[in-house]
Amino acid sequence: MRDALGELMRRRRSVRAYRDQPVARDVIEEICRLARTAPSGANLQPGHFHVLTGAALDDLVRGLGAAIDAGLPETSEYSWFPDPMPARLKARQRAAGFALYQALGIDRRDLEGRRRQFRRNYAFFGAPVGVVVTIDRNMGKGCFMDLGMSLMGFLLAAEAQGLGTSGIGALANYGPTIQRLLDLPDEEMVVCGIALGWPDPDAAENRLRTEREDLPAFTSFRGF
């Protein structure tokens, strides 16, 4: 029999459509506390979760929309993808994107439809809760690993509550804008966002599951 954690990890997926139903603060607080139990080198516990809902979230989404409409250039404060992107990874990236567009009925040549869908990142996919994740710029690169483990803890804790999530790396493209809109301290760098809410079970995009490599592709065993 599969263990409960294994079932939870296999069940988790990116949710990009949500029901119009609030999430109680005490539930989110427990999710954040559980996320903080992740391993942390020297117990530095890097990263902050800025949790928004209601008017606060609406204001951020409107501010981001205004910045995009005004043609504000994207700002990359840290590298996410390799440059140049190796062909095998580019193929994987394209396959994931095309699978999403296909689920939504967006043709590959429909550039405007694809643009509209990507812009939903900056509206947290309509989720009732949006989380802006930041890290102190003075932290070493290894602290991103610790923050990543904390993020996984957040996603799994939310899944255990029946909630859906989606990580939003695109949010970092407008980090300085978000920093201004939320009046964040200068030393905080926007790493990503998280959409959080109750999944819409009827949404086609929520039935999408991207493939993962099989064990031999990324694992080696020695001495067994």
Residue 69 lies in a domain: yes
What pLDDT is recorded for position 1? Answer: 47
What pLDDT is recorded for position 75? Answer: 87
Residue 3 lies in a domain: no
Interacting residues of 177 by C-beta distance below 8 A, sequence separation 6+:
63, 64, 67, 72
Q: What is the CATH number of the domain that holds 37?
A: 3.40.109.10
77 or 19, greater pLDDT: 19
What CA–CA distance (Å, rounded) separates 52 from 37? 22
Q: Which domain holds residue 185?
A: 11-79+122-209
What six digits make up the tokens of 37?
Answer: 């139990």
Q: How confident is the model at residue 2 (pLDDT cuts 50, 70, 90)?
A: low
Task: Identify whether the C-beta of residue 103 lies closer than 8 Å to the C-beta of residue 207.
Answer: yes
Q: What is the pLDDT of residues 88-129, one digit of tens each?
A: 999 999 999 889 989 999 998 999 999 999 999 999 999 999
C-alpha distance from residue 112 to each of 17, 80, 100, 106, 117 (Å): 20, 24, 15, 9, 9
Domain count, the chain: 1
pTM score, two decimals?
Answer: 0.95
Residue 196 lies in a domain: yes
Residue 101 lies in a domain: no
Task: Identify whether the C-beta of residue 156 lies closer than 8 Å to the C-beta of residue 12.
Answer: yes
The alpha carbon of residue 177 and the mean position of all alpha carbons in its chain are separated, in whole angstroms, by 18
Q: What is the pLDDT of residues 149-171, one digit of tens each?
A: 999 999 999 999 999 999 999 99
> 130-151: buried (b, 16+ CB within 10 Å) or exposed (e) per residue?
bbbbbbeeebeeebeebbeebb
Residue 159 lies in a domain: yes
Task: Identify whether the C-beta of residue 101 lies closer than 8 Å to the C-beta of residue 206.
Answer: no
Task: Identify whether the C-beta of residue 171 lies closer than 8 Å to the C-beta of residue 136.
Answer: no
What CA–CA distance (Å, rounded) separates 169 from 167? 6
Mean confidence (pLDDT) of the chain: 94
Dihedral of alpha carbons 51, 148, 41, 78, sign:
negative
Residue 96 lies in a domain: no
Residue 4 lies in a domain: no
Residue 106 lies in a domain: no
What six digits make up the tokens of 221?
Answer: 């065993």
Q: What is the pLDDT of residues 31-48, one digit of tens each?
A: 999 999 999 999 999 999
Q: Coil, helix or strand for 181?
A: helix
What pLDDT is recorded for position 79? Answer: 84
